[in-house]
Chains A and B, each alone.
Chain A
Amino acid sequence: MKDHAALSEEFNIDEPRVNWHDETLWFIRQKRDRMAHGIPEWEWLRETASQIKNNVLSNLSAYLEQFEINALANGITVHWAADAKEHNEIIHSILKKHQVERMVKSKSMLTEECHLNDYLTENGIEVIDSDLGERIVQLGKEHPSHIVLPCIHKKKEEIGELFHKYLGTAEGESDPQVLTEAARQHLRDTFLTRRVALTGVNFAVAETGEFVVCTNEGNADMGVHLSEVHIASMGIEKIIPERKHLGVFLRLLTRSATGQPITTYSSHFKSPRPGQEMHIVLVDNGRSRQLGREDFRNSLKCIRCGSCMNTCPVYRRSGGHSYHSVISGPIGSILAPNLDMKEFADLPFASTLCGSCSNVCPVKIDIHDQLYKWRQVLVKEGYVSNVKSVSIKTMTWVLSFPALFAFAGKSGRWVMKTLPFLVNNKLNPWYKSREMPVPPKESFREWYAKNRGSK
Chain B
Amino acid sequence: MTVGLFIPCYVDQFYPQAGIATLQLLEKLGVDVVYPSRQTCCGQPMANSGFSHLTQECDDLITENFAGFDYVVVPSGSCALHIKDHLHSEKHPDDAKILRTRVYELVEFMTDILKVKDLKARFPHKVGVHQSCHGLRGLHLSQMSELVAPPFSKPEQLLNMVEGIELISLNRVDECCGFGGTFCVAEEAVSSKMGKDRVADHIHNGAEYITGADLSCLMHMEGILRRQKSNVKVMHIAEILNSL
Listed in ascending order, the chain A residues whose CB lies under 8 Å from chain B are 4-5, 8-9, 11-12, 15, 18, 22, 26, 33, 36-37, 39-40, 42-43, 311, 313-314, 317-318, 349-356, 358-360, 372, 375-380, 384, 389-390, 393-394, 396-398, 401-404, 406-407, 410-411, 413-414, 428-430, 432-440, 442-449, 452, 454-455
Contact = CB atoms under 8 A, between A and B. Distances in A.
Contacts of A446: 16
B222 A407 contact: no
B31 interface: no
A351 to B, nearest CB: 7
Interface residues of B, number: 72
B57 A410 contact: yes
A239 B188 CA distance: 41
Interface stretch (B108-116, B157-165, B174-182, B203-211): B174-182
Contacts of B67: none
B36 to A, nearest CB: 8
B192 A434 contact: yes
Contacts of B119: none
Contacts of B149: 43
A37 B148 contact: yes
17 contacts: A8-B190, A349-B49, A353-B48, A356-B133, A356-B144, A375-B50, A393-B186, A397-B184, A401-B10, A404-B41, A407-B41, A414-B54, A435-B222, A435-B223, A435-B227, A436-B223, A440-B15
Given A376-B52, A448-B35, A43 B148 contact: yes
B180 A354 contact: yes
Contacts of A393: 182, 185-186, 188
A317 B48 CA distance: 21
A435 B227 CA distance: 6
A442 B9 contact: no
B40 A403 contact: yes
A221 B158 CA distance: 57
Contacts of B9: 401, 403-404, 407
Given A317-B193, A359-B144, A454 B37 contact: yes
A449 B222 CA distance: 28
Contact of A434 (B19, B138, B176, B227): B227
Nearest to A314: B190
Given A356-B144, A407-B58, 18 more contacts: A313-B175, A318-B190, A352-B183, A355-B137, A356-B174, A356-B176, A359-B137, A375-B49, A376-B52, A401-B10, A402-B13, A403-B9, A430-B188, A435-B227, A440-B16, A445-B7, A448-B37, A455-B34
Contact of A433 (B53, B144, B172, B196): B196
- Most chain A C-beta atoms within 10 Å of own C-beta, residue among B133, B190, B194, B222: B190
* 3 A-B pairs with the lowest CB-CB distances in the bound complex, closest first: A352-B180, A434-B223, A379-B50
